[in-house]
């Protein structure tokens, strides 16, 4: 690895991201670290994404257009076109603080077996004034398995693309994105990738601004295919973790992951709900409660979570 200033490849799939992608690209151009390339794969967008990308003039930006194949295939294509020693996957609607890449490169410090990660938070309505840092996120350098276990105990781990800076060598060992997955494909991918590192190193003074609440975003898709993808991603990711440690605590973590699928996909996707519920039972059970607040919490206390979730589903999909 080139010392001090290795080439960093930012691999960015884009699908119908025209409303936000210019801001995302600007957050890369504005980085204090300058030895980067941005590989953008337009995954068959039907909005003005292609037009915006074709107007970019920075010579460090490379644009590739393909028919729609899904986010995993687009991410893999971006990686195959990249040349960097360090790789950052990034969604086309998120933002990085100006010193993000510089500080992550410094933290890795030419160690091809270490992955850098950084803090994150959400913002809504296209306004950074709404940004809130996730105070519950584990900001400690640790061995990968221990970090994952600690991050997933009694809570839902955040494994977001741009959070990590990954040496190419690790990706060559772990393998690329699973192209059969769409919804929460990052869960399976990052557990697999992180477990191939010898250490996860936290990066100070680096913040990922995660855009939330987008209608029609990948994270909001609840088709049958999306539900099946979520199940398979959780199934694979938890298997990787169980291969690292066979214990009551990891069984509990895995059961909690499947229980969240039960809560999320009831009553619409019964096949996935039933398979996930069976996994919860096989793993020894989960004690996490149905996520609720406000009126939902009141309804749940009176009607139970299933009736409450059914009413929410009916209300959301009323004609």
Q: In sequence order, which ranges of the chain are alpha helices (DSSP H)?
A: 21-29, 49-54, 71-81, 100-108, 144-152, 168-174, 185-194, 224-244, 248-265, 270-282, 295-303, 305-316
Q: What is the mean pLDDT of the chain?
A: 95
pLDDT over threshold 50, residue 82: yes
Phi first, then psi, for residue 227 (nearest 5°) are: -65, -45
* Lowest-confidence pick of 138-152, 174-188, 298-312: 298-312
Six-digit token string for 257:
């992951």
Name the 3-class secondary structure at 209: strand
Query: What pLDDT score was predicted for residue 319?
Result: 56
What are 265-315's pLDDT values in tens digits? 999 999 999 999 999 999 999 999 999 888 899 999 999 999 999 998 888
Residue entry with tokens 């010193």: 99
Beta-bridged to residue 123, according to DSSP, are 211
Task: Work out the pLDDT band at 80, boundaries 50, 70, 90.
Answer: very high
Domain boundaries, the chain: 8-214, 219-288+300-314
Query: What pLDDT score was predicted for residue 7?
Result: 98
Task: Work out the pLDDT band at 318, boundaries 50, 70, 90.
Answer: confident
Report, as an integer, the average pLDDT of 123-148: 96
Task: Work out the pLDDT band at 219, boundaries 50, 70, 90.
Answer: very low
Percent of the chain with pLDDT over 90: 91
pLDDT over threshold 80, residue 217: no
pLDDT over threshold 60, residue 128: yes
**Predicted model pTM:** 0.94
Q: Dihedral of the CA atoms 273, 279, 284, 285 (nearest 10)?
A: -10
Query: What pLDDT score was predicted for residue 192?
Result: 99
pLDDT over threshold 60, residue 99: yes
Nearest partner of 144 among 184, 192, 106, judged by Cα: 192
- 115 to 9, 31, 118, 163, 167: CA distances (angstroms): 14, 19, 10, 10, 7
Beta-bridged to residue 14, according to DSSP, are 42
8-214 has which fold? Spore Coat Polysaccharide Biosynthesis Protein SpsA; Chain A (3.90.550)
Query: What pLDDT score was predicted for residue 2?
Result: 56
Whether residue 267 is preceded by a cis peptide bond, meaning omega within 30 degrees of 0, is: yes
Task: Work out the pLDDT band at 209, boundaries 50, 70, 90.
Answer: very high
Residue pair 37/61 in contact (Cβ under 8 Å)? The answer is yes
Q: Could you tell me which residues come within 8 angstroms of residue 161 by beta carbon, excluding any fewer than 6 positions away?
A: 88, 89, 90, 91, 94, 186
Residue pair 93/24 in contact (Cβ under 8 Å)? The answer is yes
Query: What pLDDT score was predicted for residue 213?
Result: 82
**C-alpha angle with apex 87: 43 to 236, nearest 5 degrees?**
75
pLDDT over threshold 80, residue 250: yes
Query: What pLDDT score was predicted for residue 218?
Result: 41
């Amino acid at each position: 690895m080139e010392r001090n200033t290795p080439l960093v490849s930012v691999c960015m799939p884009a699908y119908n991201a025209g409303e936000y992608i210019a801001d995302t690209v600007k957050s890369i151009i504005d980085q204090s670290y300058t030895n980067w390339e941005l590989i953008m794969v337009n995954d068959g967008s039907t909005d003005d994404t292609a037009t915006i990308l074709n107007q970019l003039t920075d010579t460090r930006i490379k644009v590739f257009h393909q028919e729609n194949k899904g986010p995993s295939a687009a991410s893999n294509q971006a990686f195959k076109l990249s040349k960097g020693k360090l790789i950052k996957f990034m969604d086309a609607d998120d933002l990085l603080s100006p010193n993000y890449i510089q500080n992550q490169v410094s933290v890795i410090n030419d160690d091809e077996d270490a992955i850098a990660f950084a803090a994150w938070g959400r913002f809504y309505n296209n306004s950074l004034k709404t940004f809130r840092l996730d105070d519950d996120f584990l900001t400690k350098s640790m061995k990968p398995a221990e970090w994952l276990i600690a991050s997933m105990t009694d809570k839902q781990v955040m494994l977001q693309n741009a959070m990590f800076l990954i040496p190419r060598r690790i990706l060559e060992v772990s393998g690329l994105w699973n192209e059969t997955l769409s919804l929460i494909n990052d869960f399976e991918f990052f557990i697999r990738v992180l477990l191939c590192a010898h250490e996860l190193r936290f990066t100070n003074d680096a913040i990922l601004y995660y855009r939330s609440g987008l209608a029609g975003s990948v994270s909001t898709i609840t088709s049958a295919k999306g539900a099946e993808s979520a199940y398979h991603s959780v199934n694979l990711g938890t298997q990787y973790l169980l291969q690292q440690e066979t214990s009551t605590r990891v069984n509990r973590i895995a059961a909690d992951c499947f229980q969240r699928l039960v809560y999320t996909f009831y009553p619409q996707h019964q096949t996935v709900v039933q398979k996930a519920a069976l996994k919860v039972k096989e793993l020894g059970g989960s004690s996490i409660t149905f996520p609720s607040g406000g009126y939902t919490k009141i309804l749940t206390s009176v009607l139970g979570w299933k009736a409450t979730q059914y009413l929410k589903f009916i209300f959301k999909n009323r004609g």
